[in-house]
Amino acid sequence: MKINIIPENCIACGLCYLHAPDVFDYHDNGIVKLNNSDKLEEKYIFDDKIISAAKACPTAAIKIIKS
């Protein structure tokens, strides 16, 4: 699976980190980033926690690309 984050949609609510703290992190201003990368899209091993984070995001700032 791939995760694509859309920082301009992020409202810095912190929910994604609660669901998947090993995947999501934040810039100093609270806007989402991937914790192991400065890219907006990365491959990850399938993990339900990532799906939960994407579903929890109130602004659709996290896209899951199943592959």
SS3 at position 53: helix
Q: Pick from 13, 34, 40, 64: which binds ligand SF4 (CB under 6 A)? A: 13
The pair phi, psi for residue 19, each rounded to 5°, is -80, -40
By CB under 6 A, residue 57 contacts ligand SF4:
yes
Q: Pick from 3, 10, 20, 23: which binds ligand SF4 (CB under 6 A)? A: 10
By CB under 6 A, residue 16 contacts ligand SF4:
yes
Q: For residue 65, give both structure tokens.
A: 């690309």
Amino acid in position 25: D
Where on the chain is the footprint of ligand SF4 (CB under 6 A)? 10-16, 32, 56-59, 61-62
